[in-house]
Structure 1
Amino acid sequence: MSHSITQTKVMFSGKIAFIAALLIASAFVGQAKADELTPIEQAAVNHHLEILATQQSESESSLIESQLHDFDAELSTAEEQFMDKTCDDNGLQYDSDAEVCYE
């Protein structure tokens, strides 16, 4: 059984490519034009943008507060571990309640 591969030649000129590019570009440009908003519609859009800005601000504040709380907790733990090791290296005991080293 023999398989033959046929090859067809398509003549593609630069003029056809240019015309196709113009047609595609004009289709996109025609869709990009939008109608102007009425004053009522613009007021509604502005109101929604204000709501979004408020929500984003509240979300950012909440996230920052959460990160600061986590950072403070990690810092406190790291300080306590550092002091415990420092006191131990000097032959002392660390009291975490009083935050002092003693013999």
Structure 2
Amino acid sequence: MSHAITKTKVSFSGKIALLSVFIIGAMITGQASANDFTPSEQAAVNQHMELLSEQQGRSDEAMIDNQQQDFDAGLEKAENKFMSNICNEHGRQYDNATEVCYEQK
């Protein structure tokens, strides 16, 4: 059994390379010639960034509050289920309102 090595011929065009160099050069030149903001434009950008920061803070707080409420509700449900199971194992009834086990009648 013999293994044959195959060669893949890749055609490379000098025209494509030259075009790529011009495109990349134009992109770099465009970035280099960007004008700075005027004082009023910079103030508007700063105000916008401040508003975004405040809104992000409020969104973060709301998300944390929602997660805390979900966690608390899940924890309470798990505690009630656990206590109900423990009380049932000992022949007692669990009362959610008073959070105690009492004897079944």
TM-score (norm 1): 0.78
SS at match of 2:85: helix
SS at match of 1:98: coil
Structure 1 position 21, deviation (Å): 2.2
Consecutive unaligned residues in structure 2, runs of 5 or more: 1-10
Structure 2 matches for 1:1-103, cutoff 5 A?
15-33=14-32, 34-103=34-103
Provide the rounded CA distance (Å) in 1 between the counterparts of 2:12 and 2:53.
53
Structure 1 position 13, deviation (Å): 5.4
Structure 1 position 96, deviation (Å): 1.2
Runs of 4+ in 1 over 4 A off after TM superposition: none
Aligned residues: 92
TM-score (norm 2): 0.77
SS at match of 1:68: helix
Provide the rounded CA distance (Å) in 2 between the counterparts of 1:17 and 1:96.
76
Provide the rounded CA distance (Å) in 1 between the counterparts of 2:20 and 2:61.
49
SS at match of 1:97: coil
C-alpha RMSD of matched pairs (Å): 1.7
Consecutive unaligned residues in structure 1, runs of 5 or more: 1-11
Equivalent position amino acid for 2:45 in 1: V
